[in-house]
Structure 1
Amino acid sequence: MDITLLYFEDCPNWKLADERLTALAAERPDIHLSRHLVDTPEEAVRTGFNGSPSIQVDGVDVFAEPGSAVGLSCRRYPTPDGYEGAPTLEQLRTVLADA
């Protein structure tokens, strides 16, 4: 399974997502984790970047909502404890189990 973390430098939330994805990759040898820096609006459009951090599994943004805007912005994720800058470990495990 290929997981790509898309991010841009000015958003601090990507580091939390990276920590969580790195932990999951250590648990699951079938995960290949890569990171992709998105640094221009054109790159955001080309990659379907819905904000930082975005998580793609086999090329699909697994947390995208219909009509999500594409662009260089920080992204927020609904979690059981309210909105956070990255999905929880449990949310990631659930999405990856379904992938």
Structure 2
Amino acid sequence: MKVQLLHLDDCPNTADAEARTRRALDTLAVTDVPVESVTIRTEAEATSNRFGGSPTIQVNEADLFPATPVRGLACQIYATEKGFAGAPTQEQLEEAMRDRL
């Protein structure tokens, strides 16, 4: 299993997304898989990595939360129980990952 966190260099939600992704993996007993941080710097990198906005969490190169493709280097907004947020909740991550295990 390959887990990647794609993000912009100055994304304020990267740390939360990374921590929640790690905790979700740990909760699902997938403790041996690292969360690879991938900084997206150009539109070409965004296109080649299927970047959905910052942060994008991918498992085996598939976006856990596929949405309308983002043009350019932009943030991503996630719908959560408490409203819109800059990163998915740990519970959302666990549910999305469970479907891929």
Give the TM-score normalised by the residue count of structure 2: 0.87
Alignment of 1:3-82 (within 5 A): 3-27=3-27, 28-65=30-67, 67-82=68-83
Aligned length: 98
Residues 11 and 73 of structure 1 are in contact (CA less than 8 Å); yes or no, is this contact kept in structure 2?
Answer: no
Q: CA RMSD in A?
A: 1.4
Q: Which structure 1 residue ranges, 5 or more long, are not aligned?
A: none
**Distance (whole Å) between structure 2 residues aligned to residue 92 and residue 70 of structure 1:** 24
State the shift of 1:80 in Å.
Answer: 0.7
The alignment partner of 1:16 has SS state of helix
Q: Offset of 1:88 from its aligned partner?
A: 0.3
Q: 2: distance between equivalents of 1:45 and 1:70?
A: 9
Q: What residue ranges of structure 2 are gaps of 5+ in the alignment?
A: none
Identity of aligned residues (%): 37
Closer/same/farther in 2, CA of residues 72 and 55 from structure 1, 3 Å limit? same
8 Å Cα contact 2:24/2:91 also seen in 1: no
